[in-house]
């Protein structure tokens, strides 16, 4: 198993290739020895095919999210886990857009991505998953995930550090025996906090573990302009420009919902 001391981990990219470019550069400047992406390459943003060359050229170790599984296997929807009609309406718009504009070569590449990644970070056994180690589209929200549940996941899957994404919001919970759960956030869209930056995560081992959530500015105005040119929904563009989520909110638990504007 590969061992590192400092890694950078990116959550959902959501076609936001401008944020991905910025995150790769920033992580390298901060001395990350390896870069990881926890899946959901498509959705939301413009020009899906622009994401793949960046991942490949930078050697980002990428795993499969529910979106990549769907697009790669030609499924009818993104398996995002929404049940609200308005949420599903927007999810379908972005899925159809992404599916139609992703090349067959990149679909095949996504189809073969691993569903989890295990490495060592110092002495810590790290398990990376998209939603959770047990289900690719499980939402692990900070206010709806008990500590004892995370402890059990660590026990069941033999890991000291669990990394996941899928919800779009970064958070971190220390567990017993110096174990951790970290939701690394996403680089595809802002964190519903009224700020336009995105977030990724740097983990450093050495005399303990340091978890750093990195706020990262990128050219969000260009992204919004490209989304407009591609005819993507105004609701998505508003999120890029304001930092507030405007749709797919019905899955949020109350605390997370209350922090947002809509």
Partner 1 sequence: MSKEVPKVSIHALDNLWFQVGGTVCNLWCTHCFISCSPDNHAYGFMTLGQVRPYLESSKRLGVKEYYFTGGEPFMNREIVEILAETLAIGPATVLTNGTVFREGDIRRLAEVERSSPYSLEFRVSIDGYSPETNDPVRGEGVFRRAMEGVRLLLRYGFLPIITAARVWDEKEDAFVQKQFVEALRAIGYDRPRLKVLPPLRLGREVARSRGYADDEQVTPEMMAGYDQGHLLCSNSRMVTDRGVHVCPILIDFPEARLGETLEEAMTPYPLRHRACYTCYLYGAICSNAPSLPEP
Residues in the chain: 262
The two structure tokens encoding residue 24: 């790769």
Position 85 contacts partner 1 (CB under 8 A): yes
Q: How many residues bind partner 1 (CB under 8 A)?
A: 27
* Interacting residue with partner 1 among 148, 207, 208, 231 (CB under 8 A): 148
Position 89 contacts partner 1 (CB under 8 A): no
Position 145 contacts partner 1 (CB under 8 A): yes
DSSP code at position 8:
E
* Interacting residue with partner 1 among 5, 116, 143, 197 (CB under 8 A): 143
Q: How far is the CB of 243 from partner 1 (least distance, A)?
A: 17
User: How would you list the strands of the sheet with 6-10, edge to edge?
Assistant: 61-62, 34-37, 6-10, 198-205, 209-216
Position 257 contacts partner 1 (CB under 8 A): yes
CB under 8 A: which stretch of 33-41, 58-66, 141-149, 186-194 binds partner 1? Answer: 141-149
Site string for partner 1, 230-249 (x = CB under 8 A): -------------------x
Phi, psi of 126 (to 5 degrees): -105, 130
Site string for partner 1, 150-169 (x = CB under 8 A): -xxx----------------
Cβ nearer to partner 1, comparing 17 with 181:
181
Interface residues for partner 1 in 98-137 (CB under 8 A)?
134-135
* Interacting residue with partner 1 among 26, 49, 84, 193 (CB under 8 A): 84
Report yes or no: 238 and 220 within 8 Å, Cβ to Cβ.
no
Position 258 contacts partner 1 (CB under 8 A): yes
CB under 8 A: which stretch of 78-86, 180-188, 193-201, 232-240 binds partner 1? Answer: 78-86
Reference 68, options 104, 113, 100; nearest CA is 113
CB under 8 A: which stretch of 7-15, 32-40, 55-63, 145-153 binds partner 1? Answer: 145-153
Position 177 contacts partner 1 (CB under 8 A): no
Position 223 contacts partner 1 (CB under 8 A): no
Q: Distance between CA atoms of 224 and 47, rounded to whole angstroms?
A: 12
The residue ranges of DSSP E strands in the chain, in sequence order, are: 3-4, 6-10, 34-37, 61-62, 117-121, 124-128, 161-164, 171-174, 180-183, 198-205, 209-216
Three-state DSSP class for 56? helix
* Interacting residue with partner 1 among 228, 242, 244, 253 (CB under 8 A): 253
10 Å Cβ neighbour count for 114?
12
Report yes or no: 176 and 205 within 8 Å, Cβ to Cβ.
no
Report yes or no: 210 and 190 within 8 Å, Cβ to Cβ.
no
Note the residues at the interface with partner 1 (CB under 8 A). 83-85, 87, 134-135, 142-149, 151-153, 249-251, 253-258, 262
């Amino acid at each position: 198993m590969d061992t590192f001391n400092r890694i950078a981990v990116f959550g959902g990219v959501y076609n936001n290739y401008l944020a991905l470019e910025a995150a790769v550069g920033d992580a390298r400047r901060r001395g990350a020895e390896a870069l990881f992406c926890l899946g959901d390459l498509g959705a939301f943003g413009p020009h899906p095919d622009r994401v793949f060359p960046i991942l490949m050229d930078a050697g980002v170790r990428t795993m499969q999210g529910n979106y990549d599984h769907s697009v790669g296997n030609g499924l009818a929807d993104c398996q995002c886990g929404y049940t609200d009609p308005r949420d599903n309406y927007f999810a379908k718009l972005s899925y159809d857009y992404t599916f139609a504009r992703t090349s067959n070569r990149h679909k095949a590449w996504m189809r073969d991505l691993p569903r989890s990644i295990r490495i060592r970070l110092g002495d810590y056994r790290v398990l990376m998953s998209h939603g959770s180690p047990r289900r690719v589209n499980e939402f692990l929200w900070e206010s709806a995930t008990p500590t004892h549940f995370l402890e059990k996941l660590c026990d069941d899957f033999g890991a000291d550090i669990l990394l996941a994404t899928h919800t779009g919001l970064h958070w971190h919970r220390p567990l017993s025996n110096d174990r951790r759960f970290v939701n690394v956030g996403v680089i595809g869209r802002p964190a519903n906090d009224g700020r336009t930056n995105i977030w990724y995560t740097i983990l450093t081992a050495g005399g303990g573990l340091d978890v750093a959530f990195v706020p990262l500015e990128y050219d969000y105005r260009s992204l919004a302009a490209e989304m407009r040119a591609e005819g993507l929904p105004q609701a998505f563009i508003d999120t890029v420009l304001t930092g507030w989520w405007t749709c797919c909110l019905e899955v949020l638990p109350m605390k997370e919902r209350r922090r947002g504007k809509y």
